[in-house]
Chains A and B, each alone.
Chain A
């Protein structure tokens, strides 16, 4: 039970913002939302995580709705190198990260 729902694929034009949605309607009060991505067959790469407030780092921004039932990962200026599978994860049981199927982001020139 991955506890998250993501669209299977999305397209984005190079240089534009990529907005990747995630639904986590059963999230509990103390559960964090994490985002990872995986490029080809490399190990998943950590992007960002948050609890209630919006977060920003050098890679992306994370917007969490007030009711915490959904979130959006924003890549402000997508490049071809951002083409990857993006996983939204809810920290289910303190130390068990369950990955769903993710969203395949295709950044096109």
Chain B
């Protein structure tokens, strides 16, 4: 599991409320990612980070923000949750070196009602 921990694992929240998902890694990898997965869409990249305070957008970044103030933590925030953001969210890290490999966390199930 490459030392990846996601929290919370399950959350139900109301429309319009802010939500923050946390991804924690124990191996000091530089690159971290947030994906969402929905039926019929596979995995889609939301945001990624290539170092402390260095982040960039993925293919479905609208409605999401991220922060990385420490190497080990990558936070995903939904400023005002909507029902369309009900999804499973996966955090991932990429190992360093040539032929880089991505390893995923176990997922965070978010339901917006």
Contact = CB atoms under 8 A, between A and B. Distances in A.
Interface stretch (A17-25, A44-52, A60-68): A44-52
Given A41-B107, A42-B107, A102-B42, 18 more contacts: A34-B101, A36-B102, A44-B43, A44-B90, A44-B104, A45-B104, A46-B101, A46-B102, A46-B103, A51-B99, A87-B42, A87-B43, A95-B31, A95-B48, A95-B50, A96-B48, A97-B92, A100-B42
Secondary structure of the B contact surface, majority rule:
strand
A97 B59 CA distance: 11
Contacts of B88: 41
User: Considering residues B42, B88, B90, B92, which has the most beta carbons from chain A within 10 angstroms of its beta carbon?
Assistant: B42
Interface in A53-109: 87, 91, 95-102
Contacts of B101: 34, 46, 49
Contacts of B90: 43-44
Contacts of B92: 43, 97
B22 interface: no
8 contacts: A2-B42, A32-B99, A43-B107, A46-B102, A95-B100, A96-B45, A99-B44, A102-B42
Interface of B: 31, 33, 35, 40, 42-45, 48, 50, 58-59, 88, 90, 92, 94, 99-107
Contacts of A98: 45, 59
A22 to B, nearest CB: 14
Nearest to A45: B104
B105 A43 contact: yes
B48 A43 contact: no
User: Considering residues A44, A51, A98, which has the most beta carbons from chain B within 10 angstroms of its beta carbon?
Assistant: A44
Nearest to A96: B45
A99 B45 CA distance: 8
Contacts of B106: 42-43
